A and B are shown apart, each in its own frame.
Chain A
Amino acid sequence: MILRADHITFAYGDGDAVLRDASLELRPGIVTGLFGPNGSGKTTLLRCLNGSLAPSAGQVLLDGRSIVSMTRRQIARHVAVVPQDTPTDVPLTVRQMVMLGRYAHGTTWDQESPEDNQTVDACMARMGVAPLAHRPFGRLSGGERQRTIIARALAQQGCVLLMDEPNAHLDLAHQIEVYRLARTLAGEGQAVLMICHDLLIAPLMVDVAVAIHRGEIVAVGSAREVLTAQRLAEVFGTTASIVWDDDQRVTARFAPQDRSSVSLNADRVRPN
């Protein structure tokens, strides 16, 4: 299934438009990275894409069908979201939390079906949280919590996965794991969108990079084409460059004004 934003504009209340004339297409098998500074409209775009926010102009289409004409349940069967934050004061165990991903598939009266149980067990195992199944969600570490939420999104068995800074609470190893998972899911035919903040690993892991600045999509293409030094200066307002080294290693160079330049290296972590 293809999820497409078609020239959408959105404003909160009577305020200025947070998104302006944004168009984006998420295709099966493709990992799309959305890059932009804080407040550039990334999360708003994501929420428009899953129909939580209705654009004031333009439309979002899921396989050609307007998403605002679908029920929340129908949308959740196709589009799963990993949110930026999840409240920690939720009185559920890890397994119960992952089981919430099955809500859109359930009939209202039913207990979980054997299929629900199988799916939940498989998703917990995939994210490495099966041993924590009966642990209260609130007592997990940040990383365990995030993996539980990703397992919940997988349990929705949608064809589009929207991840809002899925790496925000994760250490480097787990960040790489999430990128690998995104690639594997894309390999299985899912369309994946990730809101990314890191310029070190993400450029290597996404198929398509999208740069968004002040609510406008300013570039779409390969990470190499999109994340140029000039655009990073324009969009992020900082002096940084990403040096590509025969596609096997990448070096991001940052030069904050008050410090001497810093450079970071990453091996190509993308599995082939």
Chain B
Amino acid sequence: MSSHRRVMPAAYLIPVLLAGVVLVAFLALLLGGADLSPSRIIAALWEGIRGQASDDTAARIILGIRLPRIVLALAIGAGMGLSGLAAQTLFRNPLASPYVLGVSNGAAVGAVVAMLLVGKTLGYAAVPIMSVAGGLVVSAAVFALARRSDHFGHSLLLAGIAISAFCSALTAAALYLAGERLQTLVFWLMGGLWQATWRDVLLMLPVTAIALLGLMFLAPAMNVALVGERSASDLGVHVRRFQILLLLIICVTTAVAVAVSGVIGFVGLIVPHLLRMLLGADHRGLVPASAAGGALLLLVADTLARTVAVPAEIPVGIITALVGAPVFLWFLHRRAAGGGWA
């Protein structure tokens, strides 16, 4: 075995990921039920940028359906990559993710309850608010339970599994009571972006932007946090404040993503892990790379979801889980073989 593995500088990889995002985004604008030429797409985008969008069908498909969906996929994917990275750092465990920790399922419970009540007593904002509340309750519970243990990472995953199962049961109970709205809720739960609107983009994009800026700001402290709480404190990190900030970023980003797109698993787990293998553990590179990588992965998955079975659409959560679960198992295998963090 070589004494060390050379890592790729983030400055090389991030532009490649961003170029991939632009390329796939343009491809995603091209692909779909309506056959639109590249020149028509460019023309519609240009009109849109100048605020002079024409009112024909093509422009409406591009600017009103495909573009918001693409931007939403990028914002959610980036948010998932970021919250996954934050979770792995917070718990010093490369297999942690908001999904594994139960935050996604907790957010789903909040969102489902809100959805059942929307239209009766609550407005549109209730879904993300309840979703964030659900996510917060679960993260606080998991955090409190796991903190008491000497084997923080281990207890955390176990607590996450138990609370996830509990939340799934609550969601199932809510679905049981859903009546004629059952089908909508079930499709939403599978995770998908087919209902993407600019309103969703306006909700998700600022959250992702704040998560990105927040984690860029925290990146040096995230590096220090790798050595454990006590040493991080000795080296100058205010550990408690740092942990609370990370938890808030994880929770709000995940919960808002769940509110607009349902539960989409594995992006937050795999992207930071894969990038850590390529880039090493320096968070100053990992943070922007995880955002770009998550955005790219979810956009690819969502583009596949809406094109492989035209005219039908596969919920993107099914695709990410089908690809993600085997990759997760591969990580576990590597870890068992002494792979550890990377």
Q: In the complex, which of the residues B92, B217, B230, B234 contacts A108, with contact meaning CB atoms closer than 8 Å? A: B217
Stretch with Cβ within 8 A of B (4 or more), from A3-11, A132-140, A185-193, A241-249: A132-140
In the assembled complex, B231 has its CB within 8 A of some CB on chain A: yes
Residues of chain B lying within 8 A (CB to CB) of residue A103: 220-221, 223-224, 235-237
Check B4–A134 contact: CB distance below 8 A: yes
In the assembled complex, A100 has its CB within 8 A of some CB on chain B: yes
Check A52–B234 contact: CB distance below 8 A: yes
Check B234–A76 contact: CB distance below 8 A: yes
Check B342–A71 contact: CB distance below 8 A: no
Check B217–A72 contact: CB distance below 8 A: no
Check B217–A75 contact: CB distance below 8 A: no
In the assembled complex, B137 has its CB within 8 A of some CB on chain A: no
User: A100 vs B227: C-alpha distance in the bound complex, in angstroms?
Assistant: 9
Residues of chain A lying within 8 A (CB to CB) of residue B276: 91
Check B236–A72 contact: CB distance below 8 A: yes
Check A87–B341 contact: CB distance below 8 A: no
Residues of chain A lying within 8 A (CB to CB) of residue B4: 93, 134-136, 139
Check B226–A81 contact: CB distance below 8 A: no
Known A-B contacts A108-B220, A134-B4; A91 and B234 likewise in contact (beta carbons under 8 Å): no
DSSP majority for the B interface? Answer: loop
Residues of chain A lying within 8 A (CB to CB) of residue B282: 96
Q: Nearest-CB distance from B138 to chain A (Å)?
A: 26
Check A87–B220 contact: CB distance below 8 A: no
Number of interface residues of B (CB under 8 A): 30
Check A156–B281 contact: CB distance below 8 A: no
Residues of chain A lying within 8 A (CB to CB) of residue B280: 91, 93, 96
Contact residues, B204-238 vs A (CB, 8 A): 216-217, 220-221, 223-224, 226-228, 230-231, 233-238
Check B231–A156 contact: CB distance below 8 A: no
Residues of chain B lying within 8 A (CB to CB) of residue A152: 235
Q: In the complex, which of the residues B233, B237, B281 contacts A91, with contact meaning CB atoms closer than 8 Å? A: B281
Check A138–B227 contact: CB distance below 8 A: no
Check A50–B340 contact: CB distance below 8 A: no
Known A-B contacts A106-B220, A108-B217, A109-B217; A101 and B235 likewise in contact (beta carbons under 8 Å): yes
Residues of chain A lying within 8 A (CB to CB) of residue B226: 90-92
Binding site for A on B (CB under 8 A): 3-5, 92, 216-217, 220-221, 223-224, 226-228, 230-231, 233-239, 276, 280-282, 284, 340-342
Nearest 8 Cβ contacts at the A-B interface:
A76-B236, A104-B236, A91-B341, A91-B281, A81-B234, A73-B236, A72-B238, A91-B342
User: What are 26 A-B pairs with beta-carbon distances under 8 A?
Assistant: A52-B233, A71-B238, A72-B238, A73-B238, A76-B235, A80-B234, A83-B230, A83-B231, A86-B228, A87-B92, A91-B226, A92-B223, A92-B227, A96-B280, A96-B282, A101-B235, A103-B221, A103-B223, A106-B220, A108-B217, A109-B216, A109-B217, A111-B284, A135-B3, A136-B5, A138-B340
